[in-house]
Chains A and B, each alone.
Chain A
Amino acid sequence: MNSVMTSVTTFFTTTDPLFLWLSGAALGLLVVATLIGAVLAWRVQTPAGRDTVRNLNARIRSWWVMVALFAAAMLLGSVVTLVLFTLLSYLALREFLTLTPTRRGDHAGLFLSFFVVVPLQYWLIGIGWYGLFSIFIPVYVFMALPSLSVLGADATDFLTRTAKAQWGLMLAVYCTSHAPALLWLDIPGYSLPGALLLLYLMTVAQLSDVFQYVFGKLWGKTRLSPGISPSKTVEGLVGGGLTAVAIGTGLHVITPFSPLQAAGMSLVIVTAGFFGGFVLSAMKRDLGVKDWGTMIEGHGGVLDRLDSIVFSAPLFFHLTRYWFT
């Protein structure tokens, strides 16, 4: 308990006042959003309205989870962040493969995916071996998994099985792992904690999600793609996306970027976040499910909450690494 108090005290005395001010503002905003959600849940009468409020509250709750993750990362260090993301990847991969047909011959490869590939990917981040971290799953695992499966001497659906397992690893593990990898970037002239870049990515991606939803509910008329994601509208995408880019530009103070660079980065995060969610929606349609899982009872699974990060994290990571380190 004492050591926690000490680290909290150290945290407040050594951290940039601007950062503290921003965290306070974000926390205040979240408390207000939670209160509004609670009032709405109490007052709403129609079934459709109840669904909307439930969805909104699920989003607000996932915000709290992210704030908690971020607070843990700040207070307990980057290794804790890495362990948390390892667990998230494990759960997301479990959701993905639960919905994917597998056969006996895949068993050994799938076992290794969960218990070797997942921890190894995050361990490579932890020891800072960027060269292997960035090609381990797309190159070595890509070849190793079908090699193991082919030993089962079963060609039924072979391409489908291997392709789906690889996609599961790419989304749940490889792409997702780029988010905590931001903490290991060494940016010259940037003195704030690396966890702020992770916060930046998550804030812009999630705000874009929330504002697209809000704008779509308020002014949405033109459906973007009823066959894949009925709730997405052009008005929501443009309004929500631009709002998120504006906030992302304002948040340049916690990043190594100039306002213009931050605007560009936000645009990349918003665009990739949109396509990530869109692609994952199409996959859910194809698999015949509404949500990836039921981790949070009634509010979908881990992958449903990670879908705006999966494409934006690697892009944001590489753009930052290429131009700022």
Chain B
Amino acid sequence: MIPLLQPALRHGLLGLTRLLVGARASWEGSAPVDVPRIYFANHTSHLDTLAVMAALPSELRTRTHPVAALDYWGGSALRRAIAVGCLNALLVDRTGKATAEVMDAMAAVLESGQSLILFPEGTRGDGTVAPFKSGLYHLSQRVPNAELVPVFIENLHRVMPKGMPLLVPLICTMRFGAPLEAVAGEDKAAFLERARDALVSLSRPKSPSASQPDSQSTGQRTAQ
């Protein structure tokens, strides 16, 4: 493509993301270091990928590849330019027809020393974390030396709730948790449950002073 356009578009998109949602990183258990990692995050809105990328330091961002759906992001030249050209996305077929190829492509990224961003829930949630799909398990079996880092995306479901076309700018924090420890002989269901728990436990900040009132989906009043 046009060589100068993509960096400009990338800076524009990341800058706009920060202006709208802040995209602050909070490293709570892992440090921003360049080792092969699978960042797995809760899926809250269309802005998730951009927000996580904007929160990563630039030297990690260039070596991190969000996994995105081929049917949507490969759908037009513009979408492809944004996903692949600007955000280094790895486009995968999610129809289930090419599972082996998808796994090969993801493993290749990790084996080259780079990182992936995955949304194991599959669909966008409403602020709660849905059960994980099994891809995360298979990928962790295939590349056991890759660190599994949970990333809780806070507040973003309030910015752009499912089914709402309008966007309300609120400050969103990406909470990067401690990597999952390997447990020998763990089966798929137990692993997925443990991974999901690690993500959910990041949703409640440790210090009471930083608690976030969040009643959009549940109607609970957590701050009072």
Contacts and interface: CB of A to CB of B under 8 A. Distances in A.
B170 A104 contact: no
A102 interface: yes
B170 A101 contact: no
Given A94-B22, A288-B223, A107 B213 contact: no
Interface stretch (B78-86, B178-186, B204-212): B204-212
A107 B163 CA distance: 11
A288 B155 contact: no
Contact of B213 (A99, A156, A293, A294): A99
A157 B215 contact: yes
Contacts of A110: 168
B171 A98 contact: yes
Contacts of A23: none
Interface string A208-228: 000000000000000000000
Interface of B: 22, 24, 155, 158, 161, 164, 166-171, 208-216, 219, 221, 223
Contacts of A322: none
A233 to B, nearest CB: 23
A194 B171 CA distance: 34
B209 A294 contact: no
Closest 4 A-B residue pairs measured CB to CB?
A101-B215, A111-B166, A101-B213, A98-B171
A99 B24 CA distance: 15
B158 A102 contact: yes
Contacts of A288: 208-209, 211, 213, 223
B191 to A, nearest CB: 34
A101 B209 contact: no
Contacts, number: 58
Interface in A56-94: 90, 94
A158 interface: no
B221 A294 contact: no
B216 A102 contact: yes
Nearest to A90: B169
Interface string A101-129: 11110011011001000000000000000
Contacts of A287: 213, 223
Contact of B166 (A90, A100, A107): A107
Given A94-B22, A101-B221, A111-B168, A289 B216 contact: no
5 contacts: A90-B169, A94-B169, A102-B168, A103-B215, A107-B161
A21 B102 CA distance: 69
Nearest to A95: B171
Interface string A268-307: 0000000000000000000111100110000000000000
A33 interface: no
B151 to A, nearest CB: 18
A289 to B, nearest CB: 6
Nearest to A297: B24
B210 A97 contact: no
Contact of A94 (B171, B213, B214, B219): B171
Nearest to B210: A289
Contacts of A157: 215, 221
A102 B208 CA distance: 20
A103 B216 CA distance: 4
A97 B223 CA distance: 14
A101 B161 contact: no
Nearest to A164: B213
A228 to B, nearest CB: 15
Contacts of B169: 90, 94, 114
Given A288-B208, A290-B209, A107 B164 contact: yes
- Residue from A98, A100, A290 with most neighbouring chain B CB atoms (10 Å): A98
Contacts of B212: 99
